[in-house]
Structure 1
């Protein structure tokens, strides 16, 4: 009988000892000490604790490298040039890097672990990105799965951004999520509103941030936002703007069109805005967009439903938005005028729209988008 009791006890002691040894070994082996990150040939020198991903080490020192996926390695946005030898590119990096980028030692900062002092290069504009603690002023359901979130900026904030850019929306730990999590969302607000930021956040099944926003976020709550980020913006030309969006991809276009109204650009530049949805319950801001179309002769709004309900009194376009886009490029949009493409939506929709645009002679270098993971 004593053996029956002693055997489990012995195993427990052995397991505890092994666990302690593993813990001690891990601390010794992975204790990289204090290291220095030299940015842009001494423009900034950061003293950090070694052992964390480069993306996180920079963020802890208020240098925010864009990362649409929040550092999961699934968007390829957090690229930096690493001048020091940190080993070969990882299999998690290469799908997001061209051969030229790999030759120049461009790396994904979320995948590079800071184990030693190193030198990196980043675009100078990243020094202007801020982390702001905002207050949730209003939450509005605009569809069954999209919330409009209006945030109040801290007093005295000088946030300057281009319509089309985005922010990293951060939510606190909740339920089984043990750490703060960031995801990228386009601003839907007008940059001329210096007191607020607005986002359109669609519920993604299983999405950490979207689930928090839809099930836990409350008016009056504090929320951190890292901004402004992104290169998506209207080019300063007189080309026709061929814009395509779906779902919460409406966000940057709300920002863009509102700003164009303020500046008067909407009166002088032709805009074709295609918005794809499944059913009528997925449409929103229809009155505002219809008013723009009535007021400005150069503005054309074309909503389309891919699966309209049988009993819906729908008189607009039907079919996939790519089919509607193709039809308009064939029959209604001036073929002689220079065109630029502006896209926001799912990666699949973006790729399909680019194929159609190229078929009609649109220059690939003049098709602009931010493809979020």
Structure 2
């Protein structure tokens, strides 16, 4: 028995020594010292401690790169152009980069570690992204699984953004989530509403952020947001706008439509297709039907793929892609230029892109933010 105890103490001691050695070696091997980050050919230079991912290193310096997945390497949103040699593209990056991006040395900032001096290029508008502090002013159930969340801004107390852009909500630790994380949500409110921001947040089973919002977030809670981000906004052309939304993807389209109406940009034809399964999945119908009455060139087409008998649905039925294809052929002017604006699941977006390109809209005229 004593021999067993002695052996246990020896093994325990050796394990402790080994663990200490690993810590020491790790601190030596991964101690990259101070490194320099050159941004946009000298527009901004940072001196930072090396060793952390580029995404978090930049955020600690007040420069926020969008990351819809919170830096897990699954969304591909945190792309930056790297101008210096930092080694080959990693296996964790390759699936989210196309061939042209690889040629241009586009990298995922969440996967690249800052080990030596590095030069990068980022869009100029990212310099204006910042952390906002706010208070939850209102939480409203839009459907059984979508909540409308309005956050009153406190510091700064106003925001400038383009209709269609998104923010990243900072989710605090809860339950088994031990660290802060961020997730991206499109802004539903109009840019004219500068002192608060609204979001439509659908519950995703097992989702870190959506579970927190639906189960724990309460009115008067404090929240932090980062942004604004995104290239999904109205292009300044005369083309007809063909918009398709599914679920909480209605948020940025609502922002864009409200902004256009407020600014009296009503000379363009706007078609909004809103797809859902049954009547219980639809919301904001009154808002868009009222907009249709006020704006001659605005057309709202809600469609149900699986209407229930009790719905007494008189509108369009079928997959939203089928309804979209029918309207292209039967309702829309075939001789006008068109642009596509999509927000929903990746599967819905991919299917709608095929319908749009088959009906004369070139892929470079189709805009969307495809969140992971």
* TM-score class normalised by the smaller sequence: over 0.9
* 1:241-256 pair list within 5 angstroms: 241-256=241-256
Partner of 1:2: 2
Partner of 1:46: 46
Determine helix, strand or coil for the equivalent of 1:147.
strand
The C-alpha deviation readout for 1:234-254, integer Å capped at 9, x for no partner, is 111221111100000000011
Q: State the alpha-carbon separation in 1 of the partners of residues 299 and 43 from structure 2.
A: 47
Pair 1:130-2:130 in alignment: yes
The C-alpha deviation readout for 1:46-93, integer Å capped at 9, x for no partner, is 121211100100000010111121211111121112222211011111
CA contact (8 A) 2:173 2:180 kept: yes
How far apart are residue 210 of structure 1 and its match? 0.9
* 1:241-320 pair list within 5 angstroms: 241-266=241-266, 268-320=267-319
Determine helix, strand or coil for the equivalent of 1:265.
coil
Q: State the alpha-carbon separation in 1 of the partners of residues 83 and 17 from structure 2.
A: 42
Partner of 2:214: 214
Alpha-carbon RMSD: 1.3
How far apart are residue 122 of structure 1 and its match? 1.5
Partner of 2:339: 340
How far apart are residue 158 of structure 1 and its match? 4.4
Partner of 2:86: 86
In the superposition, the TM-score normalised over structure 2's length comes to 0.97
Q: State the alpha-carbon separation in 1 of the partners of residues 254 and 149 from structure 2.
A: 14
Partner of 1:178: 178
CA contact (8 A) 2:317 2:323 kept: yes
Partner of 2:370: 371
How far apart are residue 296 of structure 1 and its match? 1.9
Determine helix, strand or coil for the equivalent of 2:88.
coil
Given the superposition, is the C-alpha separation of residues 176 and 156 from structure 1 closer, same or farther in structure 2, using an over 3 Å criterion? closer
Determine helix, strand or coil for the equivalent of 2:311.
coil
Partner of 1:69: 69
The C-alpha deviation readout for 1:328-370, integer Å capped at 9, x for no partner, is 1111111112111110000110010010111111122111111
Partner of 1:160: 160
Q: State the alpha-carbon separation in 1 of the partners of residues 305 and 129 from structure 2.
A: 39
How far apart are residue 310 of structure 1 and its match? 2.5
How far apart are residue 155 of structure 1 and its match? 5.9
Determine helix, strand or coil for the equivalent of 1:73.
coil
Q: State the alpha-carbon separation in 2 of the partners of residues 309 and 166 from structure 1.
A: 33
In the superposition, the TM-score normalised over structure 1's length comes to 0.97
Query: Number of matched residues?
Result: 372
